Amino acid sequence: MAMLPLPLPPGLRRRLQEGPGPPPPPAPPPPPPPPPAPPFAFTPRRLRLGLHHPLLEDGDVHRHLYLQGVLTSLAEVAERPKVSEFSCHISGCCQVFDTLEGYEHHYNTLHRNVCSFCKRSFPSAHLLDVHILEWHDSLFQIMAEKQNMYKCLVEGCVEKFKSSKDRKDHLVTAHLYPADFRFDRPRKVKSGPCHVSSPAKDGASVPMDVSVEMSEPFQVDPMETGPSENVEIPHPPASPDPATPEKRFYKSRIPSTICFGQGAARGFKGPRKKV
Amino acid sequence: MSPWLEGQHEAGLRAAGAGGHSQLVRALPWLPLPDFPSGTRPCRGKQRGVQQPPRHFCFASLQLRAGKGVGPRGPHGPCCRSARRWPRTLTRTRPRARPDCGRCPAGGAGGPADGVWWDGKAGGDGTGSTAALRRARRQEQLVSKRLLRDDSAAEERGRDGAEIVPDPLSEDEVLELLRGVQRGSEDRKRSLSCLRHALQNKDTQQKFVRLDGSIRTLVGLFTSSLADVQMEAARCLHELSHSSDPAVAEACLPVTSYLLTYLSGHSVEFTELCLYTLGNLVVESEAVRKQLLPQGIIPVLASCIQSPHEAVLEGLGYVLSQLLQAKEAPTEIVPLVLDSVLPQHMLRLVCSGLKAGTGAAVEFAWCLHYIVCSHIADAALLSLGTLPALTTLLLDLASEIPLDAPEGLELLVCPVLRCLSNLLAGDTGCQGQIRDERLLVALFLILQSFLQQHPFIVQEGLWLLNNLTADEPFFCSALLALDLLPALLQLLPCSPMAAELVLTVLCNIAEKGPALCRQLHQALPLLLPALALPDPQAVGQGLELLHLLFLHCPEVAADFIRQGGQQALEQHQSSPVLQGRARALLDMARQPPGASATGPGHSTVSAFP
């Protein structure tokens, strides 16, 4: 049964363009109406409906179908424009890409938040800042002897601790972080060329050790366990192969203004080639 | 408590179930005829939806595309894409077959819009998916998840284009895949891809998480410095998050801290994937939520909401919407959200959603709805200016939508209507904030736009109308002055709830006194059929309305009798719910005009047979 269109008066849409109209004159509050005589019971009542009220059922089902992707939309996602292959512009990094997203992700993972001192790469500027402060700032070390300087890593938590270990304990007990959280390695005592350390000693595999030898990516991969069948996943310190030549090309911070300028709305994906 | 809040649904069904439908009744579209939308076929696989309230359903055959009898590609082919205002975020691949039902043939060309509510034709055997969804919703077991899927060319497609879910693997095969990704070799990426593909299958998911070290391996790869390995591992985790087995979600507990860490990153695609994975995990498992809250998810989301990327915002909205629907949300989650900057940003993004970022606006609108439903947020939201902001949004929306609203806007309108209605119904005395008659204009324009394709908007809009007119004479007179009464009456046949609400709104108006009652007099001819509706709750409101009209305008009673109202009342004399009021009205109507309406109980004996 098709519904007829509503018999709305003409010019209604125009009314919306006009202003709100004059405020109603303040009327004296009307006397409260007498209660209805039985068997009649009606009194006007604003209704507050809870989450699971039957009136909301159909709308909720519709919302569910939308989330599940059942309401097929009008058109397929436009194919992402494929670009011809290009390589990472960071000198020394020779990874190639054929999608902008792939490059963006690579850049953000490896080149964006890089410590200039030890070349480690971090997932966020915040973690990089913490790292620089705690690992490469001698003033920090001095102050840490007198006061609690190790900040909790969880955003919104203001606790500070006198040692990295205390902070880790706090992360584990108060914030339910894993004990082997990869972004909270204790700084090793000796400061040396941080990048070259034997895996056994260096508990600091803040991952993402940068390797510029992208043609042999697996040397840096913390997951690298060699050809053995050992399934044990390291929490390892996987430092780069000491033979990997060092390249010092990076500033200590990539300015956060770097962006990839796509700006396009992106969402559920249509067919596109993977990197 | 108004009786119609309970049981009206059941009452309507009972009434409809009683034998002897008249032709009139039969034509009313909300009767529980087999509500399988025409043009679709039931899933031939295991129909979990029937025996028990299931949590997931096979949708592959369900084409609820609101088309004008055309399929999903319809008249809105690629050439029309630019004309759509909805961003790409809403577009999806064709629905995928759920693992439990194997290959499901897609339905035929899309049937009438939301055919289940409108289409009186019998189209199935009553075990339609939508009925099952409604049942699940009633039992509070409707679990929604989002799936981002990157359709590589390698994926198989069935003959209708729907994706084919891979068959489950054996334990050994899964183990082999795991070994493959643990080996550091050139093949690792390929192994990861295979793993991801295999993990589309629910059985494989379960086998995988049970393998020793499997999740630890995935976590390691997920935190790898190799971007493409990381992305592929993220996709594997995303597949796992989509599982309907809570054990799989809980197996992913070790990964949550990293998901949160990566939300502060800059890769839009990766962040988006992490967000949807989080959202899926959140809705599936309380254990996950219990861990995420102390891990600081709310502050992280509060930072994330300042991202300029629409895709990230939409994913963020999704996570929040899942968090806020948790049963512990009012005590554990909403207070944290209210303490953060999230509410003001949510409101801002909802209100700017017509121009850009509509997908995100939809998510945040639903978030606001869940927050309002927690009952503890009214004051905070009102102080942010939620009422005027959402009102303005409705005005903007109404002035811009064409008669045939573009797909998807109803998902924004619906929660906005709900927020307004619930906020108005609170104890905060805020109704005076939006004394703007244009809101009525907007509401009716919106109802008109969505009436055809999404009739559920009607009852939600009428609920708002009730809350506007209940206490405020302003909106009652405005409705009449704007000549919206005919349109209001036109909504009577939409559904039982709509009928009851229309009559309730009319009661609100009539209750305000003789001046307004007189204006309702003209509506009398249209009220008579309302007394013949099958739903006793609606009819009851009709009787209440007549009572108010007779009370304030005795001349209405005479007219009523002249138009055959007596017979309309007499048919209810045997209904236990209605007979008292019907008889009282008959008495009132038979009193000489001008006589004061004393209690109707003074004469209970009818002079008529």
**pLDDT tens readout for residues B277-302:** 999 999 999 999 999 999 999 999 99
Answer yes or no: are the C-beta atoms of B107 and B62 closer than 8 Å.
yes
Q: Is B163 helix (H, G, I), strand (E, B) or coil?
A: strand
Q: Which residue among B91, B92, B226 places its CB closest to the CB of A217?
A: B226
pLDDT, position B465:
97
Q: What is the DSSP string of B171-209?
A: HHHHHHHHHHHHS-STTHHHHHHHHHHHTTSHHHHHHHH
Residue reference for tokens 């399929």: B71
Q: Which residues of B283-300 are buried (b: 16+ CB within 10 A; e: fewer)?
A: bbbeebbebbbebbbbbb
Distance from C-alpha of B510 to C-alpha of B553, rounded to nearest angstrom: 10
B40 at A interface, C-beta within 8 A: no
Is the model's pLDDT at B396 over the cut of 60?
Answer: yes
Which has the closest alpha carbon to B382: B418, B430, B437?
B430
pLDDT, position B563:
87
Distance from C-alpha of B523 to C-alpha of B474, rounded to nearest angstrom: 20
pLDDT, position A250:
43
Answer yes or no: are the C-beta atoms of B144 and B319 closer than 8 Å.
no
Contact A61/B142, CB-based, under 8 Å?
Answer: yes
Interstrand relation of A150-151 and A86-87 (parallel, antiparallel or unpaired): unpaired
How many angstroms separate the CA of residue A232 from the nearest CA in chain B?
7
Number of domains chain B contains: 1
Is the model's pLDDT at B420 over the cut of 60?
Answer: yes
Q: Is residue B428 part of a domain?
A: no
Distance from C-alpha of A138 to C-alpha of A187, rounded to nearest angstrom: 13
φ and ψ at residue A14, rounded to 5 degrees: -65, -35
Arithmetic mean of pLDDT, B30-53: 35
Q: Percent of chain B having pLDDT more than 90?
A: 49
pLDDT, position A13:
85
pLDDT range class, residue B527, cuts 50, 70, 90: confident
Interface A:B, Cβ pairs < 8 A: 430
Reading the block at residue B285, the tokens are 């498992």
Least confident of A152-161, B28-37, B385-394: B28-37
Give B375's DSSP letter: S
pLDDT range class, residue A87, cuts 50, 70, 90: confident
The reply to whether omega before A39 is within 30° of 0 (cis) is: yes
Q: Which residue among A24, A176, A234 places its CB closest to the CB of B474?
A: A24
Backbone angle region of A27, left / alpha / beta, with phi > 0 → left and psi within -120 to 50 → alpha: beta
Rg (CA), chain B: 28
Reading the block at residue A48, the tokens are 């507050």
Q: Is residue B543 part of a domain?
A: yes
Distance from C-alpha of A110 to C-alpha of A112, rounded to nearest angstrom: 6
Half-sphere exposure in the Cβ direction for B262 (13 Å, CA):
31
B141 at A interface, C-beta within 8 A: no
A residues 60-99 closer than 8 Å to B (CB): 60-78
The model carries a pTM of 0.76
Contact B149/A268, CB-based, under 8 Å?
Answer: yes
Q: Is residue B566 part of a domain?
A: yes
Q: Mean pLDDT across chain B, nearest whole number? A: 77
Contact B117/A13, CB-based, under 8 Å?
Answer: no
Q: Which residue among B29, B225, B507 places its CB closest to the CB of A121?
A: B225
Distance from C-alpha of B343 to C-alpha of B320, rounded to nearest angstrom: 11
| CB proximity list for B507: less than 8 A, separation 6 or greater | A42, A44, B541, B544, B545, B548
Give B333's DSSP letter: I
Residue reference for tokens 């209904």: B575
Distance from C-alpha of B480 to C-alpha of B504, rounded to nearest angstrom: 15
Is the model's pLDDT at A10 over the cut of 70?
Answer: yes
Reading the block at residue B561, the tokens are 């009798």
B180 at A interface, C-beta within 8 A: no
A10 at B interface, C-beta within 8 A: no
How far does CA B381 lie from the centroid of its chain? 22
Residue of B nearest to A178 (CA): B254
Residue reference for tokens 């030890």: A118
Reading the block at residue B568, the tokens are 């309309």
Contact B544/A42, CB-based, under 8 Å?
Answer: yes
Q: Is residue B570 part of a domain?
A: yes
pLDDT, position B524:
86
Q: Is residue B599 part of a domain?
A: yes
Answer yes or no: are the C-beta atoms of B377 and B334 closer than 8 Å.
yes
Q: Which residue among B118, B299, B474 places its CB closest to the CB of A1?
A: B118
Q: Is residue B590 part of a domain?
A: yes
Contact B264/A125, CB-based, under 8 Å?
Answer: yes
How many angstroms separate the CA of residue A16 from the nearest CA in chain B?
6
Is the model's pLDDT at B98 over the cut of 60?
Answer: no
Tens of pLDDT, residue by residue over B232-264, are 999 999 999 999 899 999 999 999 999 999 998
Q: Mean pLDDT across chain A, nearest whole number? A: 70
pLDDT range class, residue A190, cuts 50, 70, 90: low
Find which of B24, B142, B189, B224 to mutate to test the A interface (most A CBs within 10 Å of its CB). B224
User: Which run of H or of E encompasses B249?
Assistant: helix B246-251
B residues 197-236 closer than 8 Å to A (CB): 212-213, 216-217, 219-221, 223-231
Contact A123/B269, CB-based, under 8 Å?
Answer: no
Find which of B145, B225, B457 to mutate to test the A interface (most A CBs within 10 Å of its CB). B225
Reading the block at residue A235, the tokens are 């929490």
Q: Is B545 exposed, middle or buried (0-12, 13-18, 19+ CB in 10 A)?
A: buried
Is the model's pLDDT at B162 over the cut of 80?
Answer: no
B157 at A interface, C-beta within 8 A: no
With contacts defined as CB-CB under 8 Å, which chain A residues touch B457? 59
pLDDT, position B184:
76
Q: What angle do CA B41, B20, B500 make, to 5 degrees?
A: 80
Distance from C-alpha of B516 to C-alpha of B34, rounded to nearest angstrom: 42
pLDDT range class, residue A25, cuts 50, 70, 90: confident
Tens of pLDDT, residue by residue over B175-197, are 988 998 888 777 788 889 999 99
Residue type, B279: G
Is the model's pLDDT at B451 over the cut of 50?
Answer: yes
B residues 71-100 closer than 8 Å to A (CB): 72-74, 76-78, 80-81, 84, 86-96
B8 at A interface, C-beta within 8 A: yes
User: Which run of H or of E encompasses B336?
Assistant: helix B334-338
Answer yes or no: are the C-beta atoms of B359 and B310 closer than 8 Å.
yes
Neighbours of B220 (CB within 10 A): 26
Contact B225/A54, CB-based, under 8 Å?
Answer: no
Which has the closest alpha carbon to B441: B388, B404, B406, B397?
B397
Residue reference for tokens 């573009």: B406
Tens of pLDDT, residue by residue over B116-133, are 232 222 333 333 578 888
Who has greater pLDDT, B129 or B34? B129
Tens of pLDDT, residue by residue over A91-133, are 778 788 878 888 888 888 888 899 999 988 899 999 999 999 9
SS (H, E, C) chain A: CCCCCCCCCCCHHHHHHCCCCCCCCCCCCCCCCCCCCCCCCCCCCCCCCCCCCHHHHHHHHHHHHHHCCCCCCCCCCCCCCCCCCEECCCCCCCCEECCHHHHHHHHHHHHHCECCCCCEECCCHHHHHHHHHHHHCHHHHHHHHHCCCEECCCCCCCCEECCHHHHHHHHHHCCCCCCCCCCCCCCCCCCCCCCCCCCCCCCCCCCCECCCCCCCHHHCCCCCCCCCCCCCCCCCCCCCCCCCCCCCCCCCCCCCCCCCCCCCCCCCCCCCCCC
Reading the block at residue A64, the tokens are 């569910």
Q: Which residue among A3, A51, A232 places its CB closest to the CB of B451?
A: A3
With contacts defined as CB-CB under 8 Å, which chain A residues touch B272? 266-267
pLDDT, position A146:
93
Q: Which residue among A43, A47, A221 places its CB closest to the CB of B226?
A: A221
Taking the alpha carbons of B105, B108, B113, B115 in that order, is the dihedral positive or negative? Answer: negative
Rg (CA), chain A: 31
Contact B63/A72, CB-based, under 8 Å?
Answer: yes
Residue of A nearest to B577 (CA): A39
Residue of A nearest to B465 (CA): A46
A191-A192-A196-A197 Cα dihedral, nearest 10 degrees:
-50
A244 at B interface, C-beta within 8 A: no
pLDDT, position B356:
85
Q: Which residue among B228, B473, B507 places its CB closest to the CB of A42?
A: B507
Q: Which residue among A5, A12, A75 places its CB closest to the CB of B81?
A: A75
Tens of pLDDT, residue by residue over B482-491, are 999 999 999 9
Arithmetic mean of pLDDT, A38-66: 93
Q: Is residue B482 part of a domain?
A: no
Distance from C-alpha of B435 to C-alpha of B445, rounded to nearest angstrom: 18
Distance from C-alpha of B48 to C-alpha of B55, rounded to nearest angstrom: 9
Arithmetic mean of pLDDT, B485-505: 93
Q: Is residue B470 part of a domain?
A: no
pLDDT range class, residue A153, cuts 50, 70, 90: very high
Contact B482/A12, CB-based, under 8 Å?
Answer: yes
Q: Which domain holds residue B574?
A: 525-609
Who has greater pLDDT, B370 or B50? B370
Answer yes or no: are the C-beta atoms of B64 and B108 closer than 8 Å.
no
Is the model's pLDDT at A73 over the cut of 60?
Answer: no
pLDDT, position B119:
27
